[in-house]
Amino acid sequence: MLTLTDSATSKVAQLLKEENDDALALRVAVRPGGCSGFSYEMFFDSETDSDVDKVAKYGDDVRVVIDATSAQLLVGATLDYKDGLQQTGFSIDNPNAQRTCGCGQSFS
């Protein structure tokens, strides 16, 4: 399953708190598309399907949901959040990616 750094966990917890809905979880998915074959997708979701979704809890407030197909492509991956001059936002370091594009949002 996907690992979250402390900074990613803190940022997701902050964003979830702003949404003010305890049913929400962060959904991370891999979809066909992007300039390298697959692209990452992240959004808040209140729906889970126990037959296909894997759920992990980070800290006290953060739940992450990943469908089974995406989970296979994210084994060993890490979600990080940076807030600096050079880079701001979430990024995924995925050891399964053989090739990534310049935008950092897609891989093969």
In a domain, 107, yes or no: no
Domain holding 42, by residue range, is: 3-96
In a domain, 104, yes or no: no
- What is the count of structural domains for the chain? 1
**Are the CB atoms for 92 and 79 separated by under 8 Å?**
yes
Contacts (Cβ under 8 Å, ≥6 apart) of 44: 15, 16, 19, 21, 24, 25, 26, 27
In a domain, 108, yes or no: no
In a domain, 103, yes or no: no
In a domain, 49, yes or no: yes
What's the pLDDT tens digit per position in 78-108?
Answer: 999 999 888 889 988 888 776 555 544 545 4
- Report the predicted TM-score, pTM, of the whole model to 2 decimal places: 0.84
In a domain, 55, yes or no: yes
What's the pLDDT tens digit per position in 6-57?
Answer: 999 999 999 999 999 999 999 999 988 756 578 889 999 999 999 999 999 9
In a domain, 105, yes or no: no
